[in-house]
Structure 1
Amino acid sequence: MKQALLIIDVQNDYFKNGKMELVNPELVLQNTNQLEDYFIRNNLPIIYIQHISPASASFFQENTIGVELHPQLQITDDSL
């Protein structure tokens, strides 16, 4: 059985001062980091999905800080 962790849209716009702040995004980030730790320790792949919208969209607008993946994700050169 093959395993991989798929992390989707953990982007700045969902966090404090973002354009689409969610409820308790820090808890989600903490849980995501725990999963990342497990997959890194076990040398399993992590795939990050980042949605990017045009400037006319309400959030995840291209070329903004909000569209960027959250800086506390444990992204490595191998996962890009």
Structure 2
Amino acid sequence: MSIELYALDGCPYCEKVHDALQENDIDYETYWTEAMHSERDEVKRVSGQRGVPVLVDDDHGVTMNESENILTYIEQTLAR
């Protein structure tokens, strides 16, 4: 499984996603982003926008943002 999470240190929405991934024992790689929106070029390249969190699931061809959407996806698709 190839899961990537783009997150900002101290972001409460990112923390919720981290917690859900860890609680469900899902392996993932975290990419820490810049605090300034204008400097989040990697996030924009991956998702087309600069907000975080962003989850990328290569196995399912999914890239998504918005923590609530990501949490639903984790529960319905990735949780074991």
**TM-score relative to the length of structure 1:** 0.31
Q: Which has the higher helix share?
A: 2
Larger radius of gyration: 1
Q: Which has the higher strand share?
A: 2
**TM-score relative to the length of structure 2:** 0.31
